[in-house]
Structure 1
């Protein structure tokens, strides 16, 4: 894959990378740094992509692996989003709900974060298993637990204080 092909590929699928960055990095600057690191890893690995899987599967796998390494590298807790700046009551309801969901996702462990992002992108259990290296059954069990965790976190984040 030459530079022009790579640029087109990234242009077409950058949403995947930004979604991973948003779930794994604390703020916009960290997200931009992680995005660049993922691009670098994709560029380095472009010659080893065999085409045995979908290109999006490969992009997700590289993105998740780099994001997990990135979050481990950061000794401070960079994976949890800052609620005070994210959950502003001045945001529209839909924006507020999305930010609350991202905060809840950021509180999951890295593998669970990867699974839920893929699930929200409508990947099948088989595809999620292929990308994460888990069995389909394990993905199924984990998703039940992840949804419960997210529901609890979301409700805690969005409940309004009683006066």
Structure 2
């Protein structure tokens, strides 16, 4: 196994997903997200030879990313989520910004594990993979996503 060659390919394939997830945990602060992504890939490099292949490499890297980001949250005790989602194109940019701000405030109130679940869902990660990453059952992920969406909808309407 050529570790350097394998790592380069893994990095190129997974960096965009990792940086987006890190941006979500840093409220879009690119410098902080890059620091977290660097830490993620340092851990990937250090652990690559011990990767057993029980899950896909992408799932394994998502798990490392989530762990690194949650460690940072616990360290700072403050977290904000930035989610780039499609917003109705007929509304003004100020209204869009207000919607995002409201959504961020609501997401910020979620427990860390629920933030992880909704962020991964919005990233388009399959629910079965979210279950692997978070260590909870697929059915529990489906139920949580439904409940989180209901909770966020109520929160946004009441803001």
Fold match (TM-score > 0.5): yes
After the TM superposition, which residues 57-72 of structure 1 pair with which residues of structure 2 at under 5 Å, given as runs?
57-72=59-74
Conserved? CA contact 2:103–2:156, under 8 Å: no
Corresponding residue number in structure 2 for 1:80:
80
2-side partners of 1:150 and 1:23: how far apart?
Answer: 16
Structure 2 segments unaligned to the other structure (5+ residues): 83-91
In terms of mean alpha carbon deviation, does 147-156 or 106-115 score higher?
147-156
Corresponding residue number in structure 2 for 1:148:
150
| Pair 1:154–1:46, CA change in 2 (3 A) | farther
Conserved? CA contact 2:127–2:142, under 8 Å: yes
Per-residue CA deviation, residues 95-119 of structure 1 (Å, 9 max, x unaligned), is: x489548725444322112211222
> How many residues are treated as equivalent by the alignment?
148
| RMSD, aligned α-carbons | 3.0
**TM-score of the superposed pair, with normalisation by structure 2:** 0.75
Question: What's the CA shift for 1:6?
Answer: 0.8
Question: What's the CA shift for 1:147?
Answer: 0.7
Moved over 6 A (4+): none
Corresponding residue number in structure 1 for 2:113:
111
Corresponding residue number in structure 2 for 1:161:
none
Conserved? CA contact 2:103–2:152, under 8 Å: no
2-side partners of 1:101 and 1:130: how far apart?
Answer: 30
